[in-house]
Amino acid sequence: MASPTDAPRPAVTASPTSTEAVPGKTLGIVALVLAIFFNVIGLILGIVALMQSRKAGYKNGPAVAAIIIGAILTVVAVVAIITFASAAAFAAQALEACQAVDFTGTVTVDGREVACSTIDR
């Protein structure tokens, strides 16, 4: 007769229980929050959190979200910086050109006509 201890045990799975911590999960949440405000830092931490989770065999949704949001917002920030720098350079050239003609008439800056009367001194 077989004893109750001889019964086959259930297979162990890689899914965490409610008391078990998923490696990289907390870092993934921190990365997600940081990705919104500090894009590059959140992106890097998201990658680190995802690698930690993958090594342990778990999925990490917040880390994936941090990577996506961090990457998108980093690209948006770079485009915005380039646009702002270009506009500032154009404005500086227009101001310089209008100063040369004592803010009367129009000047041509980078192929665009600028009315000097519209520029604040």
Residue 118's pLDDT is 87
pLDDT level of residue 42 (50, 70, 90 thresholds): very high
Q: Which of 26, 45, 49, 48 is nearest to 34 (CA)?
A: 45
pTM of the model: 0.71
Concatenating the DSSP letter of every residue in 68-83 gives HHHHHHHHHHHHHHHH
Question: Tokens at residue 65, please?
Answer: 């979200």
Question: Tokens at residue 91, please?
Answer: 């404005």
Q: What is the mean pLDDT of the chain?
A: 88
Residue 23's pLDDT is 85
Domain ranges of the chain: 22-118
Which tens digits make up the pLDDT trace of 60-113? 999 999 999 999 999 999 999 999 999 999 999 999 999 999 998 999 999 999
Cα distance between residue 75 and residue 39, in whole Å:
9
